[in-house]
Amino acid sequence: MSNALTNPDGTLKRPPSAFRSVIEKGGTYEPEKDRYHLYVSYACPWATRTLITRKLKGLEDIIFITVVSPRMDTNGWPFGSANEFPGAEADPLYDSKYVRDLYLLSNPEYTGRFTVPVLWDKKTRKVVNNESAEIVRILNTAFNEFLPPEKAKVDVYPENLRAEIDALHEWIYPNINNGVYRAGFAGSQEAYEGAVNDVFSSLDRLEKILTGKNYVVGDRLTEVDIRLWVTMVRFDIVYHGHFKCNIRNIRYGYPAINAWMKNLYWTNTAFKESTNFEHIKTHYYWSHTPVGRDGIHNPFKRWLTYSRKINPNRIVPVGPQPHIEPL
């Protein structure tokens, strides 16, 4: 079965992000305090990468954030003013009702997806970047001049480890981060089985790497931990059931991954404070199909109808309890 969401063989298609600028001295977007704003959802793993990095770097007074409601509806991500939910906020800059309003303010001709995270420039009223992997790297270095030395020296993509980090991303992203989505939104039995086997063979590989270790690369925190953690913390909560990634779970099937995940959550506030289990669960189990501008369904967004089909009564499961085990 093929549609705009999947390839003819039923595998998931994921289009690239559209806004890919950087923040640099002498560029269109210069490093400045309180010039940029980060729009995020606590539900979204990609947005959570940027939240964690912002806290690790101590950028809270340099880049302010706004958290949307987890209850995505037919217009996409609503702000708290359009859809009240504990922890969801109104847009403090333009009182937008939806994230899509920001994209259309930035570019009225824009026809792509209205995704979070969004790194926004208040000066030019433009989306600077909407690709989380790139936003993480911007936050990692672009604002160091404004930070105290202990925060400026935090580096999650250190020069000497880049080859190792890049090599890990090569298989972790397709097989784990996007692997769970490939399983959850597969359009055929074969595509699903291929994806779910990729997920679990990669988790097996990761379990070996993390045995006896607190970090994936050497003995320091890098962006590999950040990127992987946002998927692992959602695994037993959402992907195990909702995306049918149920060969094993993390809590009982992967003791080293579980220990690594718990350690980051309980010993590093950047992880715990960037995690909101209610937003995570509500989003995945509740959300509707968003439509594009003019009420026309953006074909890619049809993937959210799957949530509606799988869980038509929008029941948000209570488990696992606790959401994350104590240390």
Ligand X SMILES: N[C@@H](CCC(=O)N[C@@H](CS)C(=O)NCC(=O)O)C(=O)O
Residues that bind ligand X (CB under 6 A): 17, 44, 46, 76, 113-117, 130-132, 290, 301
| Strands in the chain per DSSP E | 36-40, 64-67, 118-121, 126-129
Of 45, 165, 15, 181, residue with least CA distance to 116: 45
Report the nearest approach of ligand X to the CB of residue 264 (Å).
20
Is the bond into 317 cis (omega within 30 degrees of 0)?
no
Residues whose CB falls within 8 Å of the CB of residue 319, separated by 6 or more in sequence, listed in order: none
Cα–chain center distance at 270: 15
Q: Among residues 132 and 274, whose Cβ is nearest to ligand X?
A: 132
Identify whether the C-beta of residue 129 lies closer than 8 Å to the C-beta of residue 137: no
Residues whose CB falls within 8 Å of the CB of residue 41, separated by 6 or more in sequence, listed in order: 47, 67, 68, 70, 77, 116, 117, 279, 283
Catalytic residue among 43, 44, 161, 233: 44
Q: Among residues 131 and 223, whose Cβ is nearest to ligand X?
A: 131
Torsion of CA 270, 263, 228, 33, to 10 degrees: 10
3-state secondary structure at position 197:
helix
Report the nearest approach of ligand X to the CB of residue 302 (Å).
10
Of 32, 63, 30, 72, residue with least CA distance to 305: 72
In order of 106, 153, 291, the CA distances from 102 in angstroms are 6, 33, 15
In order of 46, 105, 140, 236, the CA distances from 59 in angstroms are 18, 26, 10, 30
Q: Among residues 129 and 258, whose Cβ is nearest to ligand X?
A: 129
| CA atoms of 101 and 306, how far apart (whole Å) | 25
Report the nearest approach of ligand X to the CB of residue 222 (Å).
17
Q: What is the DSSP string of 116-127?
A: S-EEEETTTTEE
Structure tokens of 169?
A: 């991303």
Q: Among residues 91 and 207, whose Cβ is nearest to ligand X?
A: 91
Report the nearest approach of ligand X to the CB of residue 267 (Å).
26
Report the nearest approach of ligand X to the CB of residue 234 (Å).
10
Q: Give catalytic status of residue 44 as yes or no.
A: yes
Q: Among residues 15 and 255, whose Cβ is nearest to ligand X?
A: 15
Q: Among residues 57 and 227, whose Cβ is nearest to ligand X?
A: 227
Report the nearest approach of ligand X to the CB of residue 217 (Å).
20
Report the nearest approach of ligand X to the CB of residue 191 (Å).
19
Of 228, 239, 257, 247, residue with least CA distance to 182: 239
Q: Among residues 194 and 290, whose Cβ is nearest to ligand X?
A: 290
Rg of the chain (C-alpha set): 19
Name the residues annotated as catalytic: 44
